[in-house]
Structure 1
């Protein structure tokens, strides 16, 4: 149910990374709509699939094609977003966009073997999973002249997880990028934060060797318990960080992992 009085009422949000209904990005987009936001999605490579999933949101959302590693796509993104958010009660010079969700990660299978992975595979993982956060932010910054909120999705990189290997390094890079973005964009009124979810059985998780072992052990280690098939708590955390309820919070990682990060892995 969409409300006009929710914590995101009147806001405009772009969400990347929606591929299936089990993705954090889908639940973030759904919660954002339920809390009153207008949402545009991005997709790459499987646009027809993303469009089908977008139709399952409370309000069907338009989809913009975006490869975050393609300079031409990034250059065209502001105009594409403007096209979907034209109209309404905003005046000339007002922000076109209030929030951006970065939920993008990728690594070739080679990166899951730490000692054997070559630089080509590792650099691809870092570019897509970490550097793209900066690329997305700078591409959309002109649409946020009065500030806003960037929220990325990570998997806690404080420890060396079994079998996660160079993807763990890429997530550590993402967390560092978040801090530097917070430093540089704070004077422009843009908050930059991450949500670190516990292991969720998404499409991306299927490509991670040993993921099921990690997901199986997690509930025993989480003080609050853990449901690996429920991305909604992470999606709700993303929506909360997009809202005005965290006006002085930036450069942070909000853990939505049942408490495992605080009690030890």
Structure 2
């Protein structure tokens, strides 16, 4: 019997079978969960195709977290497949090209606003949309990249991640009375589709190869996915507002 036996989990952000989100969905199913995926627009067909590579193909519902109509419709769309939710995975992040790659001092507010809206504010939007579906409590887990320092080329996405971390703490504060836990997993660099959009991603690989006390594999999303699944389970019933680092220990090392 798995640690998510009988749990109903919504996983966002599944685009390829190499993503952390895909492996979260896969491991969640292996641990007994009923999994529902979300996608939107032109990539919905991609998510549906990738769903077929899970142990059990998962239904895909439409959800653009920047679209209020989609957020308002989430409860009804979920209930077409599951009666309630026990957990939600926020695996969503985007910054326009102008907000990355060493252009920090010149990025226009419009591009910054997009990065913060999609990558940080959406955690609040998604959580509130899912809130009516939680049956006496639940777990929200987001994917993070350590925002306590400035990273090469990461620029305004780093700022958005800092906002994500703060947002998770305030959500944890305000939803704790409803037994809704909100936590983040700060993963080390994984060579995903999202990573390919970051100019100079190879610089992250170089840093981890040199400084991570545990050997780090940029092609292995499983450790981060396992941490998310653990936080979705009842094994962390009193943990909220936390950031669990799955980065080989690099965050704890000095220069």
Could you say which TM-score interval applies, normalised by the shorter chain? over 0.9
* Deviation digits for residues 180-224 of structure 1 (CA, Å, limit 9, x no counterpart): 000000000000000000011000011101111211331221111
* Matched-pair contact (CA < 8 Å) for 1:67–1:74: yes
* Matched-pair contact (CA < 8 Å) for 2:86–2:135: no
Alignment map for 1:61-72 (pairs within 5 Å): 61-72=58-69
Helix, strand or coil: the match of 1:147? strand
* Matched-pair contact (CA < 8 Å) for 1:145–1:188: no
**TM-score normalised by structure 1 residue count:** 0.94
Of 35, 57, 82, the residue aligned with 1:39 is: 35
* Matched-pair contact (CA < 8 Å) for 1:100–1:151: yes
Task: Return the alpha-carbon distance in structure 1 between the equivalents of residues 171 and 110 of structure 2.
Answer: 26
Q: Detail structure 1 runs of 4+ shifted over 6 Å in the superposition.
A: none
Alignment map for 1:75-94 (pairs within 5 Å): 75-86=72-83
Which blocks of at least 5 consecutive residues in structure 1 are unaligned?
A: 87-95
Task: Return the alpha-carbon distance in structure 2 between the equivalents of residues 81 and 243 of structure 1.
Answer: 20
Deviation at 1:260, TM superposition (A): 0.2
Task: Return the alpha-carbon distance in structure 1 between the equivalents of residues 229 and 135 of structure 2.
Answer: 21
Partner of 1:89: none
Deviation at 1:77, TM superposition (A): 0.7
Of 172, 177, 182, the residue aligned with 1:192 is: 182
Of 210, 214, 222, the residue aligned with 1:220 is: 210
Partner of 2:116: 126
- RMSD of the alignment, in Å? 0.8
Which blocks of at least 5 consecutive residues in structure 2 are unaligned?
A: none
* Deviation digits for residues 74-118 of structure 1 (CA, Å, limit 9, x no counterpart): 0111110011114xxxxxxxxx11000000000100101110100
* Greater shift in the superposed pair: 214-223 or 39-48: 214-223
* Matched-pair contact (CA < 8 Å) for 1:39–1:61: yes
* Deviation digits for residues 116-164 of structure 1 (CA, Å, limit 9, x no counterpart): 1000000000000000000000011001140010000010001000110
